[in-house]
Amino acid sequence: MSRPPFLSQIAQNYQQLSKGHKKIADYILREYDKAAFMTAAALGEAVGVSESTVVRFAAENGWKGYPELQKYLQDMIRSRLTSIQRLQASDVRLGNDRILESAMNADAEMVRRTLEQVSREEFRAVVEAICGAEHVYIQGTRSSAALANFLALNLNILHPGVMSVDTFSASQTYEQLLRIGENDVFIAISFPRYSTRTLRALRYAQDQGACTVAITDSARSPIALLSRHVLAAACDAVSFAESLVAPMSLINALLAACARSRGDKVYDTLQRLEQIWAQYEVYASPEQEEGL
What span, in angstroms and rounded, lies between the C-alpha atoms of 138 and 136? 7
Q: pLDDT at position 150, please? A: 96
Domain ranges of the chain: 5-113, 121-279
pLDDT tens sequence across 266-291: 878 888 888 888 888 887 777 666 66
Rounded distance, CA 114 to CA 105, Å? Answer: 14
1-5, 144-148, 244-248: the lowest-pLDDT one: 1-5
| Average pLDDT over all residues of the chain | 84
Which carries the bigger pLDDT value, residue 93 or residue 166?
Answer: 166
Q: What is the CATH code of the structural domain delimited by 121-279?
A: 3.40.50.10490
> In this model, does residue 226 exceed pLDDT 60?
yes
Model confidence over 117-127: pLDDT tens digits? Answer: 899 999 999 99
Q: What is the mean pLDDT of residues 245-252?
A: 96
DSSP 8-state class, residue 61: T
* Planar angle of CA 33, 34, 39, nearest 5 degrees: 125
What is the CATH number assigned to the segment(s) 5-113?
A: 1.10.10.10
| pLDDT given for residue 5 in this prediction | 58
